[in-house]
């Protein structure tokens, strides 16, 4: 009857309005109306997907003409493994007989060992501080492969399993800061003593310190969820946090530890384990408060769909390739230790605008630092990337 048809039409219209409303809310979330956050300090921890985060921050800085606190001279990190001081930043200290206060920057994200009073000298008061953590077992395994020839503790060990069976045979804290990669390295990056006993009162006090300073601590295992939450808190657009995985290893250079090896790793890096457990919990509390499960799912799907679009647009193969096989030096990643670091090859024949977008998305860390340095300090000698000169 006519009434049935009318009722169906009304229901269809209501359903359509509901769907459109949901989609409009997704596309134009309320927080985008607020100005985007542009003063950001990212504490880049080691072997935690932080190179991908760095690429996001570099692209944002370049696109919006923001200043980056870049390493001085030929260096590619901000004094790591020593505690950070302002002189590690190019252009921070004013020259002349009456030098003023250090220059301030919008974004700080290169590797450094956190030292808040010094960081505050060059970052504005309204800076958003965040970092990222990874499960200590996989983080230690990645460090072992990556820093095999660099950390004295790893050099003599035939495997991570062998190292963990008798770590004190290989590890000597007096061997210097290079051994920071071999134990509680995320704790060390935060500026704490990576050889401290995991005493409950001490650990709790340090966790409170981190919580008071960092507005957000992301979790590498939930990278896409992390980016969705970060985007929301920074009031950025979805495209600002879409990224390809950078500085990742090929599967054949990843080693799985035995169950006993995993237990030993957690005991050996007990401070990192406490850190991870605590901030994994706070991360999900924050996700629930800010997004809720439905919004989170929808935005993660949106992020992944956009990444796939850009992979199809930019890349010759959507999967990354062995870094050693990449001919273009601007896109060839640095190889370290026993790791096979992967990189990307761009599709031929891209128009200029697309080429620039795609190049920035796949540009390895060292090349991007050198690029930003030239843009920011055109009068200074360019940064040389030694591994590309051989």
Reduce the DSSP state of residue 64 to 3 states and report it: coil
Reduce the DSSP state of residue 230 to 3 states and report it: helix
pLDDT in tens, 207-229: 999 999 999 999 999 999 999 99
Distance CA 197, CA 56 (A): 36
Distance CA 383, CA 192 (A): 31
Mean pLDDT of all residues belonging to the chain:
90
Distance CA 132, CA 229 (A): 13
pLDDT number for residue 382: 93
pLDDT in tens, 239-248: 999 999 987 8
pLDDT in tens, 19-54: 555 454 444 444 447 899 999 999 999 999 999 999
Q: How many other β-carbons are positioned within 10 Å of the β-carbon of residue 214?
A: 20
Q: Which helix (DSSP H) or strand (DSSP E) does residue 223 occupy? A: helix 223-234
pLDDT number for residue 387: 75
- For residue 100, CA distances in Å to 89, 97, 235, 302, 313 come to 16, 10, 33, 47, 48
pLDDT number for residue 246: 86
pLDDT number for residue 7: 67
pLDDT number for residue 282: 97
Q: Which CATH architecture is the domain 33-383 placed in? A: 3-Layer(aba) Sandwich (3.40)
pLDDT at 161 over 50: yes
pLDDT at 64 over 90: yes
Residue 122: Cβ-neighbour burial (10 angstroms; 0-12, 13-18, 19+) = buried
Axis-axis angle for helices 50-63, 365-376 (nearest 10): 30
Distance CA 112, CA 121 (A): 15
Lowest mean pLDDT of 84-88, 170-174, 321-325, name the range: 321-325
Give Cβ neighbours of residue 350 (< 8 Å, ≥ 6 apart).
314, 358
DSSP 141-197: HHHHHHTTTTSHHHHT-SSHHHHHHSHHHH--GGG-GGGGGGSSHHHHHTTS-TTS-
**Residue the block writes with tokens 């003023």:** 100
pLDDT band with cut points at 50, 70 and 90 for residue 97 = confident
**Tally: H helices and E strands in the chain:** 15, 6
Residue 210 in contact with residue 134, Cβ under 8 Å?
Answer: no
Question: 86 or 323: whose pLDDT is higher?
Answer: 86
Per the DSSP assignment, residues forming a β-bridge with 322 are 342
* Tokens found for residue 146: 């990556």
Distance CA 221, CA 240 (A): 20
As a whole number, mean pLDDT of residues 321-343 equals 80
- Cα R_g (the chain), whole angstroms: 23
Q: Is the peptide bond before 347 cis (omega within 30 degrees of 0)?
A: no
Q: Quick one: three-class SS letters along 295-364? A: HHHHHHHHHHHHHHHHHHHHECCCCCEEHHHCCCCCCCCCCCCCCCEEECCECCCCCHHHHHHHHHHHCC
**Residue the block writes with tokens 């200043």:** 67
């Amino acid at each position: 009857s006519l009434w049935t048809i009318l009722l169906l039409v009304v229901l269809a219209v209501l359903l359509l309005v509901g769907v459109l409303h949901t989609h409009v809310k997704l596309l134009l979330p309320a927080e985008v109306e607020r100005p985007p956050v542009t003063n950001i300090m990212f504490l880049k921890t080691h072997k935690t997907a932080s190179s991908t985060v760095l690429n996001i921050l570099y692209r944002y800085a370049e696109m919006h003409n923001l200043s980056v606190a870049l390493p001085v001279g030929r260096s590619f990190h901000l004094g790591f493994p020593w505690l950070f001081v302002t002189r590690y930043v190019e252009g921070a200290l004013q020259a002349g007989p009456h030098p003023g206060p250090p220059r301030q920057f919008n974004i700080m994200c290169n590797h450094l060992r956190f030292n808040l009073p010094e960081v505050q000298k060059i970052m504005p008061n309204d800076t958003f501080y965040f970092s990222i953590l990874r499960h200590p077992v996989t983080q230690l395994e990645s460090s072992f492969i990556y820093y095999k020839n660099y950390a004295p503790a790893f050099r003599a060990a035939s495997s991570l399993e062998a190292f963990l069976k008798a770590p004190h045979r290989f590890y000597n804290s007096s061997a210097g800061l290079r051994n920071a990669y071999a134990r509680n390295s995320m704790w060390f990056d935060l500026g704490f003593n990576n050889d401290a006993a995991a005493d409950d009162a001490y650990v709790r006090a340090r966790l409170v310190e981190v919580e008071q300073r960092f507005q957000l601590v992301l979790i590498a295992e939930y990278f896409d969820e992390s980016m969705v939450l970060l985007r929301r808190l920074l009031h950025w657009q979805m495209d600002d946090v879409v990224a390809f995985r950078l500085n990742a290893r090929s599967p054949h250079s990843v080693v799985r530890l035995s169950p006993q090896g995993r237990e030993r790793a957690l005991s050996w890096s007990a401070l990192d384990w406490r850190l991870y457990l605590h901030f994994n919990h706070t991360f999900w509390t924050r996700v629930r408060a800010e997004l809720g499960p439905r919004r989170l799912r929808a935005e993660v799907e949106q992020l992944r769909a956009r990444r796939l679009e850009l992979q199809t647009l930019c890349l010759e193969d959507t999967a990354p390739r062995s870094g050693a096989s990449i001919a273009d030096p601007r896109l060839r990643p640095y190889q370290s230790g026993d790791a096979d670091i992967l990189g990307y090859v761009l599709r031929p024949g891209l128009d200029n605008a697309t080429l620039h977008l795609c190049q920035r998305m796949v540009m390895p860390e060292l090349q991007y630092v050198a690029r930003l340095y030239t843009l920011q300090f055109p009068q200074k000698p360019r940064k040389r990337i030694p591994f590309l000169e051989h």
